[in-house]
Amino acid sequence: MSGSVTVRPFCGGDTFALLDCWREALAFDAVGLEALESRVLLDQNFESDGFQCAWVDGELAGFVVCYVLNKPIEKTGFREDTGFISAMGVSPRFRGQGVGSALMDQAENFFRERGRSIIVIAPYTPNYFVPGVDKDRYPEGIRFLESRGFTEYSEALAADALISTFEISERTLEKEKSLAAEGILVRHYVREDLAAFMQFLRDYMPGPWIEDARRNLLDLAAGRFTEDSIWLAFDTTARSTAQPGGRIIGFCQNEREHFGPFGVCDEYQGKGIGTVLLARTLYAMRVRGYHSAWVLWTGQRALDGVYGRLGFKQTRRFAIMKKEITAS
């Protein structure tokens, strides 16, 4: 017999019950205390009313984590019409008892009160866990969201590569030499690149990538990130007073075994620059002792292209979902 469902904001005393529930509800996406603190409770947009827990007969049965942007993202702004659900789950022991509906009702009220008319799951780029709902592992979750009016509007793919024996191929080394002959140099980041690198990101890359780079560069300044975790491509024929070593035209980075993002200016694509950047980054990762590399959010074209050529294989696929609501 099912009990009554009570929904209330998360409090500190719920921490370990919440982590247990998270592991039960999202078995392939469990988190630990550090992730809960750094990526939820200390998030720059965290609001206590956005983190709701559902209880049934004294047991924590489910949770939902909701955000609106109270701090703008570079080149993106506040996304005034959009609310984000970064994580939601119901323990299997309590499914079918109205727990998910009670949590979603609370989430929709949270967004309506803040004037949002669109809810997206789960690409909250300041601190996302996964970009969407895993299609193969959580089909029940997708069916529940569809029953609540959510639809898939995009797909994200995750991919992994074994790099413990990675070597840069002769073909890629030859490409690197031919690019150098054209004046295109690939090397790792050094501290003197900071101003030019940030300007390159602002000029050519998505806003969330700028925020991501800033966080890593702050860690680098504090000694928690390494220069060879970022690789840059330069057009040395386009030197200027601001960039005496040449114009930055591409970049690639890793955070331990997490690879990416990386990108190349549109007018330089198709020359093999991305392949060289990726290969140099993967080789530097191997030298540091990492045995694998993974990317959590990419598309089929990239996986069929540069990622596939360097050994990445698809491991997960996610439905990125959204719903329109009437703002209050």
Q: Per residue in 194-231, pLDDT tens?
A: 999 999 999 999 999 999 999 999 999 999 999 999 99
Paired strand residues for 73: 77
Residues 6+ apart with CB under 8 A from 186: 176, 179, 231, 232, 233, 234, 273, 276, 277, 280
Report pLDDT digits (tens) over 79-116. 999 999 999 999 999 999 999 999 999 999 999 999 99
How many residues are there in the chain?
A: 328
Burial 185-211 (b: 16+ CB within 10 A, else e): bbebbeeebeebbbebbeebbbbbbbb
The reply to whether domains 5-155+318-324 and 164-290 share a CATH topology is: yes
Token look-up 């800033």 returns: 214
Q: Is the pTM of the predicted complex or chain greater than 0.85? A: yes
CA angle 254, 242, 231 (to 5 degrees): 15
Amino acid letter, residue 36: L
**Are 146 and 319 a contacting pair, CB within 8 Å?**
no
Q: What is the DSSP letter of 317?
A: E
pLDDT of residue 128: 94
Domain ranges of the chain: 5-155+318-324, 164-290
pLDDT of residue 328: 64
The SS3 of residue 294 is strand
- Give mean pLDDT, residues 162-169: 96
State the angle between helix axes of 273-287 and 170-181 in degrees (0 to 180), rounded to the nearest 10.
120
User: In a 10 Å sphere around its CB, with 0-12 CB exposed, 13-18 middle and 19+ buried, how is residue 312 labelled?
Assistant: buried
Q: Is the pLDDT of residue 254 over 80?
A: yes
HSE-up of 45 (CA within 13 Å, CB side)? 21
pLDDT of residue 2: 64
pLDDT-derived band of residue 64, with 50, 70 and 90 as boundaries? very high
Paired strand residues for 231: 188, 252
**Percentage of residues in the chain with pLDDT exceeding 70?**
99
pLDDT of residue 244: 86
Q: What is the DSSP letter of 168?
A: -
pLDDT-derived band of residue 3, with 50, 70 and 90 as boundaries? confident
Which of 73-77, 279-283, 306-310 has the largest mean confidence? 279-283
pLDDT-derived band of residue 1, with 50, 70 and 90 as boundaries? very low
CATH fold of 5-155+318-324 reads Aminopeptidase (3.40.630)
Which CATH code for domain 164-290?
3.40.630.30
Q: Is the pLDDT of residue 63 over 90?
A: yes
User: In a 10 Å sphere around its CB, with 0-12 CB exposed, 13-18 middle and 19+ buried, how is residue 47 labelled?
Assistant: middle
Q: What is the Cα–Cα distance from 212 to 252, expressed in whole angstroms?
A: 12
- Give mean pLDDT, residues 162-179: 97
